């Protein structure tokens, strides 16, 4: 993005625009992970789901010329990945964290294998809404060009937040996540609830992938993800399993990720790769600041292995 005409104000503007653009995949992956973790299980494989979703969405959009069909297809395969994870974890002695790492490698390998023919062709992109038409400045117009999926993600975060405390499904999810025994006493099968929660999480993570390949950066290649699927796990802990918190944390991460490119656009090129590391450093610092060796995290689902 050019920053001529508005000088250094281009940096905060670019960070703002970047935060919205970069945060969208974080919003979807972290909402998906939040739902899965609320049910008492952790899925570290969302990185693989995200990349496989990106590949599927791109391939389907190339073939059908409809980006929205691509998003739907990504959701379907993402749910399948979640179902596999949820099904395997149902068995005794199976470690959900290790299965997540394995599913991540499996998803990445399969996405690179099947996505090879789709690196060259161009897919139609997801539409954006121009909220900046009132302004004469092209920078502001560009910054306020907001993708529909960002708005969907914001709405979903609010809806999940409301649903988790006001609906039957939300209550079931929280009971299962806090205590398998309590859930069984209520006549619920924790494994079934976790299976569906992991599938829903996979579908949401795949939407994040579809956004990467169909909007920003808007192409399919093997380096499409830079660990968003894994950082989302840390982000969910930071957000204390609260969907609205996930949305705000995603914005913060997006802003950190946009800092490097924004500074580069105003001519600061020194240490570009160090700014590249900003989101990872931020994640680590936040995890150090919010964790404690003696007490379990406030708001953590009781049955979750990662906080024990």
Binding site for another protein (CB under 8 A): 44, 84, 88, 91-95, 97-99, 101-103, 105-110, 112-113, 116, 226-227, 230-231, 233-234, 237, 270-274, 276-277, 280-281, 283-284, 287-288, 291-294, 305-306, 308
Assign 3-class secondary structure to 41-88.
CCCCCHHHHHHHHHHHHHHHHHHHCCHHHHHHHHHHHHHHHHHHHHHH
Task: Pick the closer one to another protein by CB: 155 or 287.
Answer: 287
| Token pair 């859930």 in the structure block, residue | 183
Cα dihedral value 36, 42, 45, 51, nearest 10? 40
Task: Pick the closer one to another protein by CB: 91 or 134.
Answer: 91
> Of 30, 103, 42, 98, which Cα lies nearest the Cα of 305?
42
- How far is 261 from 155, CA to CA, in rounded Å? 28
Task: Pick the closer one to another protein by CB: 68 or 106.
Answer: 106
Q: How far is the CB of 114 from another protein (least distance, A)?
A: 8
At residue 146, the 3 state secondary structure works out as strand
Task: Pick the closer one to another protein by CB: 215 or 275.
Answer: 275
Phi, then psi, of 129 in degrees rounded to 5: -105, 130
Q: How far is the CB of 272 from another protein (least distance, A)?
A: 8
Q: How far is the CB of 37 from another protein (least distance, A)?
A: 12
Is residue 29 within 8 Å of 232, Cβ to Cβ? yes
Q: How far is the CB of 202 from another protein (least distance, A)?
A: 14
Phi, then psi, of 147 in degrees rounded to 5: -70, 150
Task: Pick the closer one to another protein by CB: 176 or 230.
Answer: 230
Task: Pick the closer one to another protein by CB: 23 or 147.
Answer: 23
Which one-letter DSSP state was computed for residue 127?
Answer: P
- How far is 88 from 93, CA to CA, in rounded Å? 10
Q: How far is the CB of 130 from another protein (least distance, A)?
A: 34
- How far is 207 from 180, CA to CA, in rounded Å? 30
Is residue 283 within 8 Å of 237, Cβ to Cβ? no
Cα dihedral value 183, 188, 190, 193, nearest 10? -120
Task: Pick the closer one to another protein by CB: 12 or 227.
Answer: 227
- How far is 286 from 278, CA to CA, in rounded Å? 12
Q: How far is the CB of 3 from another protein (least distance, A)?
A: 23
Task: Pick the closer one to another protein by CB: 168 or 270.
Answer: 270
Q: How far is the CB of 256 from another protein (least distance, A)?
A: 13
Q: How far is the CB of 277 from another protein (least distance, A)?
A: 4
């Amino acid at each position: 993005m050019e920053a001529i005409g508005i000088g250094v104000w281009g940096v905060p503007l670019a960070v703002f625009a970047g935060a919205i653009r970069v945060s969208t995949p974080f919003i979807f992956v972290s909402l998906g992970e939040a739902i899965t973790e609320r049910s008492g299980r952790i899925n570290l494989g969302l990185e693989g789901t995200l990349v496989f979703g990106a590949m599927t969405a791109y391939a389907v959009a190339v073939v059908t010329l409809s980006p929205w069909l691509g998003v739907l297809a990504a959701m379907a395969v993402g749910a399948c990945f979640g179902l596999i994870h949820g099904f395997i974890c149902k068995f005794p002695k199976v470690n959900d964290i290790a299965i997540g790492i394995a599913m991540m490698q499996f998803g990445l390998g399969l996405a690179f294998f099947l996505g090879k023919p789709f690196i060259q062709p161009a897919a139609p992109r997801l539409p954006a809404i121009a909220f900046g038409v009132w302004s004469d400045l092209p920078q502001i117009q560009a910054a306020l060009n907001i993708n529909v999926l960002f708005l969907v993600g914001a709405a979903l975060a609010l809806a999940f937040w409301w649903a988790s405390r006001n609906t039957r499904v939300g209550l079931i999810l929280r009971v299962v996540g806090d205590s398998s025994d309590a859930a069984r006493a209520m006549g619920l099968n924790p494994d079934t609830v976790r299976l569906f929660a992991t599938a829903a999480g996979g579908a949401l993570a795949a939407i994040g992938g579809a956004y990467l390949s169909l909007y920003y950066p808007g192409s399919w290649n093997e380096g499409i993800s830079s660990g968003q699927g894994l950082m989302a796990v840390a982000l969910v802990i930071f957000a204390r399993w609260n969907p609205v918190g996930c949305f705000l944390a995603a914005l913060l991460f997006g802003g950190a990720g946009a800092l490097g490119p924004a500074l580069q656009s105003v001519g600061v090129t020194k240490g570009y790769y160090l700014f590249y590391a900003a989101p990872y450093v931020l994640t680590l610092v936040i995890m150090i600041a919010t964790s404690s060796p003696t007490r379990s995290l406030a708001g953590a689902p009781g049955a979750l292995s990662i906080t024990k």
